[in-house]
Structure 1
Amino acid sequence: MLLLILVSAIAFYRIQQFADSAQLVSHTHLVIEKIHRIFSDLKDAESAQRGYLITGDESFLDTHHAVVVSLPQQITELKEMTKDNPQQQQRIAIMEDMIDARLHVLRLGIDMLADRTEISNTEVIAMIRGDGRQTMAQLHTQIQRMIDVEEKLLRDRANLVEQQAASTKRWILFGNLLAVVLLLSAIWLILHEIAHRRTAQREIEKTAAQLELTNKELESFSYSVSHDLRSPLRAIDGYSRIFEEDFADKLDDEGRRLLKVIRTSSKKMGQLIDDLLAFSRMGRKPVDFGKVDMNGLVDDVWHEVCMNIPSPPRLEKKPLPPCWGDRALLRQVFLNLLANAVKYSSKQPDPVVEVFSDPREDDVIYSVRDNGVGFDMRFYNKLFGVFQRLHTEDEFPGTGVGLAIAQRVIVRHGGRIWAESKQNEYTIFNFSLPKETHA
């Protein structure tokens, strides 16, 4: 493209030069024509004077006077046309003096006839053949010199125009050929790119299909394994409880402690399996879009979260605009976020949970903030992973699946979820959802 622009600029510059030179050629023709016109008018004035002297007919004086009046204007125009040529300006000045002198002589002849009423043929012939013929010859020589200069300039300019025309044609031809080459190259590249993209699209579709199949297989496998693990875990917990009830008096303290560890671990494993099943079901459940009243949803979830808490945190909820989504799935999101906010702010003397929103042009950002222990932002990449925890179970119980479920729900709604935190000060979870107008 840069090369094509450069060639186009050169061709345009050549065309402009050609146009300027052609204008100079036309200008030279006009100068030559003007010189011929001045000399022709002067001869007309002389002929009119002769006719008047010979016939005495005053109608000849009209032509003579018209020429006398127009000649100064024509000489002025000629000077303006040749102002860029100092030598021609000097020649025009000499020509003007000679014309003035000749017109003066012609005027004397006219005045002579007016004073005498009649002039003999001999006197007329003497006027014509005397100084008049010599003056016209000198004037003709001067004018011819001027014309010769202009004709030489005309030949030079005409040659330059021919050269520039040939150069312009070559550049235009080269530019057209270059444009054709570039166009063919662009077409080839586009076709090549289209073929490449089709191949890549087929590979992407193939990979996506394989990935979807693999995900379904993994989800089915995880669901099946998780479901099948429930039965042996229930058996372990049940037999451990029976063993504890029937043989507790035969065990020492260490035996009873180990038995308790077995029951606790089996219950924890059961909770992990339940969370894994919930996460797996969340990926398979279809999204039923509709208008969701976020104020009512948050109130319902908050009541459920705080139902069994003796001293729940203070909730500060600002009015929330409705969104477009699946109420049941969004309820799970708020359940996980509010439960986390209550859990991680429980050790503060004055726990506070805030819920607010930020409406945008295409979506709404909902936020849940608490003044709890927070987390280290250096480990942010682990925040939404399955079974990833940023606090030990001794500090805060949990399996580390809730945020992964929340992220999956928000992504399926076409939004995103993120968080920001400062240790021992605050944590804010934000997620975006489409507005109701996107229905």
Structure 2
Amino acid sequence: MKRYLSLALVFLSVVGRFVPGWANSILIPMDDQQSNHLKAYGIAYKVLKDDQEVEWLLNYRGGSFMIKHTTAFENECRIRGVSAEVISDARAASIRQQLADPDLNMDVVKLQKAAKIVVYSPIKVGPAEFENTDAVLLVLTYAEIPFEVVYDEEILKGDLPKYDWLHLHHEDFTGQYGRNLHRQTVADIKAQENIAHKYGYAKVSQMKLAVAKTIKEFCAGGGYLFAMCSAAETFDIALAAEGVDIVGSSYDGDGADPDAQSKLDFSKSVAFENFTIDSDNGYRGFSTFSDINSAGGRSYDQPAGFFELFNFSAKWDVIPAMLTQNHESIIKEFFGQTTAFRKTVVKPSALVMGESKTSDRYLYGEIGRGQWTFYGGHDPEGNRGGNFRTPTDLNLHPHSPGYRLILNNVLFPSAKKKKRKT
């Protein structure tokens, strides 16, 4: 009799794993057992798009996700090659109880609504081949997370409030066209000049400042800003230089203010202060903007070291804990036009979430009702030894911890915002 009872219990247990009526959950592990970390974020986003809730299990198996079981979601994981475990309600409850233990640095954050994502990119107005290597465009596409694209005109028209999350990459908000031969073509430059003239700006630098100020207002109003590479650096330079001509004659036909450095207003910048802007090297000269870039003077840099993520309290410092979820805490450095941020120019109000011995790599801050993250470097899996116009094939890097940091930011606006307590 005992043997038949045991077999019956085993049968019920197995059936319970696959019958929706048993109200099972799906656990998507994000530790080393995950077959595709990057696409797992796409599953989480799809669940949110389908108006279902996602539980983000902070510091549990690499920052795992837990969702309500449906056959559709289970099949979606299988189709996308994402590891998933169908678990009982009892086990799901046990996991939540474990994470609630005050002695453990773990917690559950509920994600409730898919953020509407937009990328600021010149691909909106032209070919802009260099943008094909934008790490965020690459990973959003790979993870199958939908997004829209805007550029200067859409921002000047006031379209940003339609979105929750805005990404900037290697844009030059100072109006100096990237200060590099390879950054922008004649067509790219002409497109910006046309938009500037259409909206009544005498110079591209004036238009870019207006765009930067509008983005800052979007963030202060409750939006989320994520910037990488030179966009993070030039965004702050443009804001601090409001009303000051820092653009040399090579770019706009007249000279920069010789006293420009002393006229910078660092109260207007977001993340950096007391930085020194680089003098005019002439268009198609050097590609450095200021000493914000810790690799300044060497243009594109190829670091050989690593940077480390800080271990934040999942219960007390919820926001940075979400933004640093990973299966690895030591991450290989990667180059960029702005590779990393010099420690001495980072504002005290900015929270450093990742650093190397010589620079800060990953910053977070708040403006008004909104938040921003600045991430140094161009492509977490980029290789300077090859053609820099060749986009990274993420099929070769499905476990990239550097790319995971980008996707943490994509999901963050879906969580109910909580202020840091420390």
- Could you say which TM-score interval applies, normalised by the shorter chain? under 0.3
User: What TM-score do you get using the length of structure 1 for normalisation?
Assistant: 0.22
User: What TM-score do you get using the length of structure 2 for normalisation?
Assistant: 0.23
More strand by share: 2
* Greater relative contact order structure (CA < 8 Å, 6+ sep): 2
Bigger Cα Rg: 1
